[in-house]
Structure 1
Amino acid sequence: MDRDAIYAKVIEVVEDTLSLGDDVTLSEATDLKQLGADSFDLLELVTALEDEFSMTFADDAVGTISTVGQVVDAIASAQ
């Protein structure tokens, strides 16, 4: 899967998991915590992304990922 396809799917999963409205526009620079995501929301998001992409994030990577772009990069490098 190329980076653009990963990005599109990540956007979809983030919007669904965090129940974002149509008025929220996401970009690679979007900080997940600025979307109002608490630690439980982030754990739920990580789980949803792992399921969607059939992969597992490294424990140390989860703590350092804060933007949509970093999520895309982590998934791209894991594939």
Structure 2
Amino acid sequence: MNDIEQKVINTIAETLKMGEEEISLESKLADDLGADSLDAVEIMMAIEAKFDTEISDEDASKMATTKDIVEHIKKNLNQ
């Protein structure tokens, strides 16, 4: 697992108050992790702060899995 993946998983775990071992790259925020819309907003805000980036509402609405968030961060860090 690379650094970005670990940081994203850590951020989700902290926000949802669960163990990192319960979260994989394929975990769906709502279906697998039980995140509601408020949780999703909190996760995105925490990700933005941790990676010093901005995630538009449109992009955030397309992110259903941990991997979706990781890929978005990787793409934006490479620009």
When the two structures are superposed, what TM-score results if normalisation uses the length of structure 1?
0.88
1:60 aligned partner: 58
Secondary structure of the structure 1 residue equivalent to 2:46: helix
Larger relative contact order (Cα-Cα within 8 Å, sequence gap ≥ 6) = 1
Q: Tell me the residue number matched to 1:13.
A: 11
- The counterpart of 2:68, out of the listed 67, 70, 76, is 70
* Gap regions ≥5 residues in structure 2: none
How far apart are 1:15 and its partner, in Å? Answer: 0.3
- Matched residues, percent identical? 30
Deviation at 1:27, TM superposition (A): 1.2
State the number of aligned residues.
76
Gaps of 5+ in 1: none
Give 3-state SS (helix, strand or coil) of 2:22's partner: coil
- Any runs of at least 4 consecutive aligned residues in structure 1 with deviations exceeding 2 A, and if so which? none
Structure 1 vs Structure 2 CA RMSD: 1.6
Please, what TM-score do these two structures have when normalized by structure 2?
0.88
